[in-house]
Structure 1
Amino acid sequence: MHELINTTRKILQENTDLPFSVYTSVEVQNIFNVPIIKPLLVCVLNGCKRLGEQKDISCYAGNFIFLSNSPKINMRNIPGSNEYFALLIDFDFTDFECLPVSQNPIITHFQGSIDPLLKNTLQQFLSWSAVASPELWPLRRKEILQVLLHQGYQQVCRIMESPSLSHKLHTIIGQDVATDFSATELANMLAMSESTLRRRLQSEGLNLQTIKDRAKLGFGLHLVQTSNDPVGRIAERCGYLSQSRFTEKFKQLFGVTPSEIRKTQLRE
């Protein structure tokens, strides 16, 4: 996995707008209620990721776990010999149009090893993403899905749940987290009445403020993990006027503060 790690580091140093993310730490990270809005491929290149209420799902270095667009999940990132290092690629719903339609029930996840074919596919995806325009990114994402299917992972056809109303709202809010959209504005974007919006959310066991918080704080978590921005700047980018308020809400949702996560990334 060292080649993939080295390639990833090099590309991250030279580019900012990329179709993947990297999460690293040198100490254990425990994070609760992490929102997974799009199907997510997590390739663990060093260390171990544990998922679930009881941390009963383990993904070790050299393996991947593909997560469905589930509302939230608890995770524990555990460093290996010197760090935890994971490559994350999220997929748009349209990416799955290249796969056969499955009549079987949706699954929450599946796992496998990063064998030579998948490793080379990921290597090409990383190198190509540094030079290709965003309009072409879906082509390589679809290639990854087709490679997984070719390798016998039929589960890839069952990993995408049709976007619910809450997913759609999360996507809209996530595109501009600094804006505090009103219920009327969001309802208009979705071509429905405000009362219908609230009623359908209630049927999903959610309310609008919860979705707003998850979208804003989910983006904040991503920035804490992947950027060097100060926490105050991250709070501002997420639409919070107060860093302390952002930290308070962050702690309530994820069970840890932004500064505590940052400490797990620092080498002594």
Structure 2
Amino acid sequence: MTALSAAAKAALAGGAPLPFSLYTSHTEQRILNAPILKPLLICVLAGVKHLGRDAELVCPAGSFVFLPNSPTIDMRNIPVNEEYCAMLIDFDHADFHQFQRSAVPARPHLLGPVDAVLAKTLQQFAEWSVYAPPGAWHFRKKELLQLLYQAGHHGVAAMAAPPSFSHQLHDMISADIAGDWSVKRVTAALAVSESTLLRNLKAEGTDLLAIVNRTRLGHALHLIQTTRDPIGRIADRCGYYSQSRFTEKFKLLFGVTPTGLRKTRL
């Protein structure tokens, strides 16, 4: 895990956008309702990750967990010997088109070891990402999925549920995270009537404001975990012009304040 961690940290040190993230902490993190909006591979490089309100899943260093694009999950990131560190890679629904979904039953998660082959592949992925154009990232992501499948983790083929209406809205809002996402703007972008929009959202048990807030706060959570930007700047970038209001909504959803979460990384 040492070589993989070093390669990932070296790649991220350049500051350029990359097709993976590295989450670290030096004290325990407890995060409620963490959004999983795309199929997500989490490789724990140091420390332990607990998933679920009652720690139903335990992922020690040297293991991975693959989560489908399910709504939310509670988690604890626990440092061992000074640090928690995990490499995260999200996937698009199209990355799974190489598999025949009907042949594999859907699963709520997939657990496994980061063996020598996967660790070396991830290390090469991190090093390659520094030089590769963003348009080529999805090719290597599809190779990672195929590697897991060929290693016997056939459940990876069923990690991508068809995108819901809410997921489509999330992707659209993410392209302009701080924008004014009114009903009028959304219906115009989707070319649907207001009644159709509201009916589809009601069928999924949500509404537009909830999706906008969840998308913004999910992005804020990512920025707090991966950057050292001031909390006020993150709030502004995510469309919250009052830092106190941003902090209130962040704590209400995740169970921790932005400042409290930031302190775990210091």
Question: Under TM normalisation by the shorter chain, which class is it?
Answer: over 0.9
Alignment-derived partner of residue 172 in structure 1: 172
Q: C-alpha distance in 2, partners of 1:218/1:228?
A: 16
The 4+ residue runs of structure 1 with deviation greater than 4 A are none
Alignment-derived partner of residue 202 in structure 2: 202
1:98 is paired with a residue whose SS is: coil
Alignment-derived partner of residue 253 in structure 1: 253
Q: Is the 8 A contact 2:187 2:197 kept in 1?
A: yes
Alignment-derived partner of residue 141 in structure 2: 141
Equivalent residues in 2 for 1:117-128 (5 A)? 117-128=117-128
Residues 1:207 and 1:242: Cα distance change in structure 2 (over 3 Å):
same
Which letter does structure 2 place at the counterpart of 1:197?
L
Normalised to the residue count of structure 2, the TM-score between the two structures is 0.98
Q: Is the 8 A contact 2:105 2:155 kept in 1?
A: no
Equivalent residues in 2 for 1:76-91 (5 A)? 76-91=76-91
Which letter does structure 2 place at the counterpart of 1:165?
F
Equivalent residues in 2 for 1:218-257 (5 A)? 218-257=218-257
Alignment-derived partner of residue 70 in structure 1: 70
Report the CA distance between 1:16 and its aligned residue. Answer: 2.2
Identity %: 52
* 1:107 is aligned to 2:107: yes
Alignment-derived partner of residue 27 in structure 1: 27
Q: Cα deviations across residues 124-176 of structure 1 (Å, max 9, x unaligned)?
A: 11111000000000010000000000001110111110000011111111121
Q: C-alpha distance in 1, partners of 2:53/2:4?
A: 30
Q: C-alpha distance in 2, partners of 1:191/1:105?
A: 34
Alignment-derived partner of residue 16 in structure 2: 16
Aligned residues: 266
Q: C-alpha distance in 2, partners of 1:107/1:176?
A: 32
Alignment-derived partner of residue 212 in structure 2: 212
2:106 is paired with a residue whose SS is: coil
Q: Is the 8 A contact 2:104 2:154 kept in 1?
A: no
Q: Is the 8 A contact 1:109 1:159 kept in 2?
A: yes
Normalised to the residue count of structure 1, the TM-score between the two structures is 0.97
Q: C-alpha distance in 2, partners of 1:118/1:189?
A: 41
Q: C-alpha distance in 2, partners of 1:230/1:66?
A: 31
Which letter does structure 2 place at the counterpart of 1:95?
D
- The CA RMSD measured in Å over matched residues stands at 1.0
1:112 is paired with a residue whose SS is: strand
Unaligned runs of 5+ in 2: none
Report the CA distance between 1:104 and its aligned residue. Answer: 4.4
Alignment-derived partner of residue 130 in structure 1: 130
Q: Is the 8 A contact 1:15 1:130 kept in 2?
A: no
Q: Is the 8 A contact 1:102 1:157 kept in 2?
A: no
Which letter does structure 1 place at the counterpart of 2:155?
Q
Report the CA distance between 1:53 and its aligned residue. Answer: 2.0
Report the CA distance between 1:103 and its aligned residue. Answer: 4.4
2:42 is paired with a residue whose SS is: strand
2:146 is paired with a residue whose SS is: helix
Alignment-derived partner of residue 43 in structure 1: 43
Q: C-alpha distance in 2, partners of 1:37/1:50?
A: 19
Q: C-alpha distance in 2, partners of 1:45/1:196?
A: 45
Q: C-alpha distance in 1, partners of 2:57/2:179?
A: 36
Which letter does structure 2 place at the counterpart of 1:157?
A
Which letter does structure 1 place at the counterpart of 2:136?
L
